[in-house]
Structure 1
Amino acid sequence: MEREAMEFDVVVVGAGPAGLSAAIRLMQQAQQASKDITVCVVEKGSEVGAHILSGAVFEPRALNELLPNWRETGAPLSTPVTHDDIYLFSGAQSSRKLPGFAVPKTMHNSGNYIVSVANLCRWLAEQAEALGVEIFPGFAASELLLEDNVVKGILIGDMGLDRQGKPKDSFTPGMELRAKYTLFAEGCRGHLGKQLISHYQLDKEASPQHYAIGFKEIWDVPAANHHQGLVVHSAGWPLANDASGGGYLYHAESQQVVVGLIIDLNYSNPHLDPFAEFQRYKQHPVIKQYLADGKRVSYGARAIAKGGLNSLPKMSFNGGLLLGCDAGTLNFAKIKGNHTAMKSGMLAAETVFAALNSDDAGGRDLTEYATAVKQSWLYDELYRSRNFGPAMHKFGTFWGGVFNTIEQNWFGGKLPFTLTDNSRDHAQLKLASTTTRIIYPKPDNILSFDRPTSVYLSNTNHEEEQPCHLKLTDPTIPVQVNLAKYDEPAQRYCPAGVYEIVEDDKQQPRLQINAQNCIHCKTCDIKDPSQNITWVTPEGGGGPNYPNM
């Protein structure tokens, strides 16, 4: 098929914090050097911010460097953190508030802001466009343009295919976006980033990446329950045994609170239902006191790359770079990745611009990017937190927390050894027959809810007549292997009810995939014990439409 092509100096895949920061920094340098360059950002969401979901307590360090006048130009950072409460939940009704000395320094949030990262990205997009960046929302980067083992750009997915992949009357072929350098900033478990890591073996010297699933809801609450600027974190209940993670509740502006639960995807009990655990979490008295008589207005979920420094792949290859959570730059000891993603984008932009400014024809492996990262505060921050995840995995929530408090508060993250965890999250499930079945309470529709009504609040929509974007390598595995061994955990780990075991007309079980429900969290691509599911991009514009997550 003959396709139209557009040429740019740089194509950026993903309009999140990393991608937009890279685009802005590229154009800032071009203006300072009076050099004309062309930069394009491609975003699969229907608009910038539509697919952005983050807690979020935001550390402004990178923003201060990128746009020092952000206060004067209207950045949506209006809720400074006023107080941190850290709890250990030992049961459904019990809790212990931790004194300051028992809290790792990484969990102190003085100087940070409670923000909507979706709205922050919308504002960053405005700054980028004002500098001359072209932003294309609603277009999914579906394939790599690989020529002679060099990334030459990306292919925008075709629009208007039916379920069998045949053109409909509305068919529009995808366009080639070609570039001297392509920057991949797709977020956690990026579809193309995953291919690049595999193709170039970028992770051969790194520990396996580790992941969590993070849930988030926004609630309108009564004024008496609202304490603007208060940050609440918790560990412990409802997670038990081999499941780890933690909860959060942030008091934002306009009498809203955001509440969520993060669950590490190395859990071992296949009966565990992350969505149902989140619904239970909201029933704890510490959390319930703030949500009482409130109204839930938004819901979403997203995978989180939490391996940190030990799991960072090589971030450069012929013709491009990996940025932000596509590489895994999140600092899980802080539960923050937006400032590190932005810094990675800025460093990438400086590396690429230096190459372009030297009349580089493009396509080479910009290994100097690794040097720039290693010489920056980004690397120093990840280095100091390198033991956080492995300690939690090896020692559990309590003793892992003790270890991290000692390392951060007494040694500044510089103990003379490095802990590692070389296990793979998907390989940790035990057989269903050897584990305890978990019975979850029914939703009360006051604090806890079911999946269908939750997905409705995410404003998720896909064109139904299109190829399924959740690909099974072997369609027999879900029943013959996953159901037989693990009671098909996809029924539970998916936060949107995409996967169901139903009976066919012969009363035999089969896996039904409700792809139109998918909120693009990527958990299935990560946690499937047989690694049989591959998430690929649906038509551009499909998926959730988060207003201010």
Structure 2
Amino acid sequence: MEYDVVVVGAGPGGLATAIRLKQLNPDLSVVVLEKGSEPGAHILSGAVMDPRALTELFPDWKERGAPLNQAVTGDEVLFLSETQHTTTPKWLLPDCFHNEGMYVVRLGAVTKWLGEQAEALGVEIFPGFTAAEILYDEHGGVRGVATGHMGIGKDGQPTGAFQLGMELLGKYTVFAEGARGHLGKQLISQFQLDKGRDPQSYALGVKELWEIPAEKAKPGLVVHTAGWPMDEHTYGGGFLYHLEGNKVTLGFVTGLDYQNPWISPFEEMQRWKLHPAIRQHLEGGKRIGYGARAITAGGLLSLPKLVFPGGALVGCDAGTLNAARIKGSHAAIKTGMLAAEAIVPALAAGRYGDELSAYPEAFERSWLFEELNASRNFKQWFKQGNTVGTVMTGIEQWLLPKLGFKSPPWTIHRKAGDHTRLHAANQIAPIKYPKPDNVLTFDRLSSVFLSSTNHEENQPAHLTLKDASVPVAINLEKYAGPEGRYCPAGVYEYVKNSDGSDRLQINAQNCVHCKTCDIKDPTQNIVWVTPEGGGGPNYAGM
């Protein structure tokens, strides 16, 4: 099937690309592939949304019924000790922590709405179809993607439900898969898009949705925490946002450059909820949703080249999230619009298959570049420890703007990828996490149940090993099997064979597509590939 433009991923970035293309030229043929069961099914974010980019895309978004229902009414930034907290005075809050004019949203609902707007403009959206393979032309440029076959059994052979994959060819192909995109990763390697850039850095966000008693509801209150339960050398923090309808969305973010192999981001989130400053919001309530997703946190210094022959990267596939602001949806929408605004004149001029140089040029002139440039050192400072990171964030985000600086007059670099950071397990004492009480804290499997995760069981595992001997020989021997701790869904566990030897068991059906294993595996032996379309989580209201 041939189109003017193929878009991979129906998240905010991909849908903004498609919408802007049709706004600029309604006659263009545009298709969007989405591996989830529908737009929004795999979307997971806090989220406090900056509406700036959405307003540029749809100035009348309120009249159109966009589900930005709850304006932010207050900000709290708390520094936690194990049992106490200190509230940062409002006058000391850097601009990046001011959320006036923002909205607490369920990003899945916003994404679903964007999908409806795209379809109304004539965009074709194919949910439940994975873009499994990049297609190249005879010159090495991208000419489209192929979807995965359906109905392949565990043995790799077609079943009675077999359906052949399709080739979707485009004059340009835009990749908007989110953080650590399966195909985006390949493109960055193939075209060396990250040459000269700092290694990308990631974090894992573990999130829950709660329904709380009406008397505890504070619609629009935004709470961020730093400090406990993280130690001085582990980047992380919590968020808790009051939605409308007596709902609270909360989560904990752990930097995947952590060094302690005994850390479990899932367990850190559970014990964080036990802090008095957090549990006061939740007591008497009920947990109704769960999910987890990796987040790109490297910022501008880790941003790869955005274009290559035949296509472009947008949003978190490139890594445009602003970790200092804890916001990425506005960046995804803006980059999607900028990519579209470069594609349309190229097609009008009869060009296709080349590098869309107008896109990165426009990005560097945009307000988004200015915003990311101002916080370019944010994650880099935290490699010096949380105290240094906090102080330097205050200097760069609070003091320097008051002195008239739009961005810091210095640049800090990082050289090591997240997977290189783990220490050997015998160098650090294990962490004893509290057992779940099933009231405030829970285990992994009951949590995954709430994500409505489902995969067709008779299909090849989408979590693959380059070398099956590595997990036991290296990961278990040296790092005490970190897979079982960094995975927030209980996918990985070491079990005993009948002869007493160990093996890594992969419960791929539990996978919530967070991509943590693909990022944090110290040997980079685990490779996440696309499962059969429509599989994975089905987040409702997240």
Q: Give the partner amino acid of 1:45.
A: G
**Alignment partner of 1:121 out of 81, 86, 111:** 111
Structure 2 distance, partners of 1:188, 1:353, is 26
Give, in angstroms, the shift of residue 507 of structure 1: 1.5
Query: Do the aligned partners of 1:81 and 1:109 also contact (CA within 8 Å) in 2?
Result: yes
SS state of the match for residue 262, structure 1?
Answer: strand
Query: Deviations along 1:475-503, whole A, 9 cap, x unmatched?
Result: 00000011000001001000000000000
Deviations 1:2-24 (A, max 9, x none): xxxx0000000000000000000
Counterpart in the other structure of 1:463:
456
**Corresponding position of 2:150:** 159
Q: Secondary structure at the match of 1:277?
A: helix
Question: Which of 182, 185, 192 is matched with 2:183 structurally?
Answer: 192
1:99 corresponds, among 81, 89, 96, to 89
The yes-or-no answer on 1:492 pairing with 2:485 is: yes
**Structure 1 residue 282 and structure 2 residue 273: aligned?**
yes
**Alignment equivalent of 1:254, drawn from 240, 245, 256:** 245
Equivalent position to 2:398, from 394, 409, 420: 409
1:479 corresponds in structure 2 to 472
2:481 partner SS? coil
What are the within-5 Å matches in structure 2 for residues 426-465 of structure 1? 426-465=419-458
Please give the alpha-carbon distance, in whole angstroms, between the structure 2 residues aligned to 1:211 and 1:399. Answer: 19
Q: Secondary structure, in 3 states, of the residue corresponding to 2:71?
A: coil
Q: Secondary structure at the match of 1:442?
A: coil
Amino acid at match of 2:233: D
2:25 pairs with 1:30: yes
The question of 1:15 aligning with 2:5 is answered no
For 1:433 and 1:401, locate their aligned partners in 2 and report how far apart those are by CA, in whole Å. Answer: 30
Cα displacement string for residues 313-342 of structure 1 (whole angstroms, at most 9, x for unaligned residues)? 001001000000000000001000000110
Runs of 4+ in 1 over 6 A off after TM superposition: none
Instruction: Map 1:226-245 onto structure 2 (within 5 A).
Output: 226-245=217-236
Partners of 1:85 and 1:540 in 2: how far apart?
41
Q: Is the 8 A contact 2:232 2:386 kept in 1?
A: no
Cross-structure match for 1:3:
none
Aligned: 1:150 with 2:141: yes
Tell me which amino acid in the other structure corresponds to 1:402. Answer: V
What's the TM-score, normalizing by structure 1?
Answer: 0.97
2:538 is the alignment partner of 1:545: yes
| 1:49 and 1:548 in contact (8 A); partners too | no
Counterpart position of 1:535 = 528
How far residue 213 of structure 1 moved from its aligned partner, in angstroms, is: 0.1
Alignment-mate amino acid for residue 118 of structure 2 = A
Q: CA deviation at 1:101?
A: 2.9
Q: Alpha-carbon deviation of 1:405? A: 1.4
Deviation for aligned residue 1:147: 2.1
Residues 1:135 and 2:125 aligned together = yes
Note the aligned Cα RMSD (angstroms): 0.8
Rounded to whole Å, the distance in 2 between the matches of 1:105 and 1:191 is: 34
3-state SS in 1 of match to 2:527: strand
Deviation at 1:288, TM superposition (A): 0.2
State yes or no: 1:292 paired with 2:287. Answer: no
**TM superposition shift of 1:242:** 2.1
Distance (Å, rounded) in 2 between the aligned partners of 1:24 and 1:423: 38
Q: What is the alpha-carbon distance in structure 2 between the residues aligned to residue 280 and residue 131 of structure 1?
A: 46
**Shift of residue 506, structure 1, vs aligned partner:** 1.0
Q: 1:424 aligns with which of 417, 420, 430?
A: 417
Match of 1:383 among 373, 379, 383: 373
Contact 1:235/1:397 (CA < 8 Å) preserved in 2? Answer: no
Structure 2 gaps of 5+ residues are none
Name the aligned partner's letter for residue 131 of structure 1. Answer: L
1:494-520: CA deviation from partner (whole Å, max 9, x where unpaired): 000000000011111100000000000
Structure-2 separation of matches of 1:200 and 1:406: 37
Distance 2:232 2:78 in 1: 18
For residues 414 and 307 of structure 1, what CA distance do their matches in structure 2 show? Answer: 17
Instruction: Measure the CA separation in 2 of the matches of 1:124 and 1:89.
Output: 38
State the SS of the aligned residue for 1:406.
helix
Deviation at 1:102, TM superposition (A): 2.6
Is contact 2:232–2:387 with CA below 8 Å preserved after alignment?
A: no
Identity of aligned residues (%): 56
Q: Is the 8 A contact 2:233 2:386 kept in 1?
A: no
Structure 2 SS opposite 1:520:
coil
Correspondence 1:202 to 2:202: no
CA displacement at 1:354 relative to structure 2: 1.1
* 1:442 aligned partner, one-letter code: K
Counterpart residue identity of residue 492, structure 1: R
